């Protein structure tokens, strides 16, 4: 089974809680879609790039902000914060 872009966007926001450290960027996009915001944290020649992806609260998970940190394209840290 393949997912279209529309299917990826329709993924339930609660699936964000099933992410795990070590996943690649592509796997994360397939599971929960593209981030709402992306920021480069560190980009130094010869070192792995570090960036964050933020997923804003969603109607099905209305109080949770999810921030993912990637290092060299691999999920390194997951922060799920209650936002009110």
pLDDT at 4: 46
Residues of the chain with pLDDT under 70: 1-12
Q: What is the pTM of this model?
A: 0.79
What are the extents of the domains in the chain? 5-82
pLDDT at 70: 98
Q: 55: which DSSP letter?
A: E
CATH class of this structure's domain 5-82: alpha beta
The residues with which 80 forms a beta bridge, in sequence order, are: 66
pLDDT at 58: 84
How many of the other CB atoms lie within 10 Å of CB of 82?
A: 8
Alpha-carbon distance of 5 to 24, in angstroms, equals 18
């Amino acid at each position: 089974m393949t997912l279209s872009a529309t299917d990826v966007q329709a993924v339930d926001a609660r699936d964000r809680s099933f992410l795990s450290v070590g996943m690649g960027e592509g796997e994360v996009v397939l599971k929960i879609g593209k981030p709402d915001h992306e920021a480069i944290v560190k980009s130094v020649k010869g070192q792995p790039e570090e960036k964050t992806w933020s997923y804003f609260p969603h109607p099905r998970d209305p109080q949770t902000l999810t921030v993912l940190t990637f290092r060299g394209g691999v999920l390194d840290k997951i922060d799920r914060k209650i936002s009110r």
